[in-house]
């Protein structure tokens, strides 16, 4: 029988109370893509990648609400860790995603992954390749806001707005304790383990020992910018200023 801690433990930052689960969300995405392909042919982009927004965050800060507000304001789609992993871990879904992409841009996945392998020391397992293909597919198929999984390290730097969200341990612990109805001591233990898992992921997948602030367009401290609406407005303005004059046709 599982202990209370095992039953309640989850990776903080991915808690979703009102959002549909990944399977439902992905099903709706594919249905919309299929309708779009039946009714029109999209113009081939000379840049191939739509300007995207990539959120990177410390575990437990909670940025999905900010992402949802921003997506509604600018007409983008939120692609979070749960969605990416749901597709990447399902071979049929992963193949279907790439199929949609290849209909518009033949061989772009092969070309770009070949460049990545040649230029960057990324891990090259089957599961990681599936994750990379999923991120690349979404980035090309439609305007997207990526939350997590290091998308900012994979996509062309000149085509993204990379935003890092941070917060104090105190804020993260209090938030997690409230969300999971546990003591702050239990929350701190969960958070420490989740931070270690995140570091291991970036080391294994991207060969990075730490996340460097200089890699981002901006860093937002949620101890001070504590309302999701504020953060969404800041990011929206920065995105407009960076890409307003760039044609995506």
For 169-215, the pLDDT digits (tens) are 999 999 999 998 999 999 999 999 999 999 998 988 888 888 999 99
Q: How far apart are CA 80 and CA 100, in angstroms?
A: 20
- Under 8 Å CB-to-CB from 174, ≥6 apart: which residues? 184, 187
Domain 47-239: assigned CATH number: 3.40.50.300
pLDDT tens for each residue of 108-139 = 556 655 555 555 545 567 777 778 878 888 88
pTM: 0.76
CB atoms within 10 A of CB 75: 8
Residue 55: the pLDDT is 97
The answer to whether the CB of 29 falls within 8 A of the CB of 144 is: no
Confidence of residue 216 (pLDDT cuts 50, 70, 90): very high
What separation, in Å, do the N-terminal and C-terminal C-alpha atoms of the chain show?
A: 56
Residue 137: the pLDDT is 80
Residue 230 has pLDDT above 80, yes or no: yes
Q: What angle do CA 67, 93, 162 make, to 5 degrees?
A: 30
Q: How far apart are CA 143 and CA 137, in angstroms?
A: 11
Domain residue limits, the chain? 47-239
pLDDT tens for each residue of 71-116 = 999 999 999 888 777 777 777 766 666 665 555 555 555 665 555 5
Residue 7 has pLDDT above 90, yes or no: no
């Amino acid at each position: 029988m599982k202990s209370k801690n095992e039953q309640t433990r989850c990776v903080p930052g991915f808690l979703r109370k009102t959002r549909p689960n990944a399977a439902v969300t992905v099903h709706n995405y594919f249905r919309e893509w299929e309708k779009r392909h039946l009714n029109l042919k999209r113009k081939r982009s000379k840049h191939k990648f739509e300007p995207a927004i990539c959120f990177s965050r410390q575990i437990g800060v909670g940025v999905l609400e900010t992402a949802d507000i921003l997506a509604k304001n600018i007409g983008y789609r939120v692609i979070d860790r749960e969605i990416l992993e749901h597709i990447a871990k399902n071979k049929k879904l992963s193949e279907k995603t790439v199929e949609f992409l290849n209909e518009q841009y033949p061989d772009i996945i092969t070309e770009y992954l070949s460049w990545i392998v040649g230029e960057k020391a990324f891990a090259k397992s089957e599961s990681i390749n599936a994750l990379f293909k999923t991120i690349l597919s979404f980035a090309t198929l439609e305007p997207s806001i990526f939350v997590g999984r290091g998308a900012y390290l994979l996509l062309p730097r000149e085509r993204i707005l990379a935003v890092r969200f941070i917060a104090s341990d105190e804020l993260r612990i209090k938030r997690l304790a409230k969300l999971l109805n546990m003591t702050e001591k239990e929350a701190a233990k969960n958070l420490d383990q989740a931070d270690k898992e995140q570091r291991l992921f970036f080391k294994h997948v991207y060969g990075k020992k730490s996340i460097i602030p200089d890699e981002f367009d901006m860093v937002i401290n949620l101890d001070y910018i504590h309302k999701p609406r504020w953060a969404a407005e800041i990011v929206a303005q920065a995105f407009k200023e960076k890409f307003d004059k760039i044609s995506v046709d």
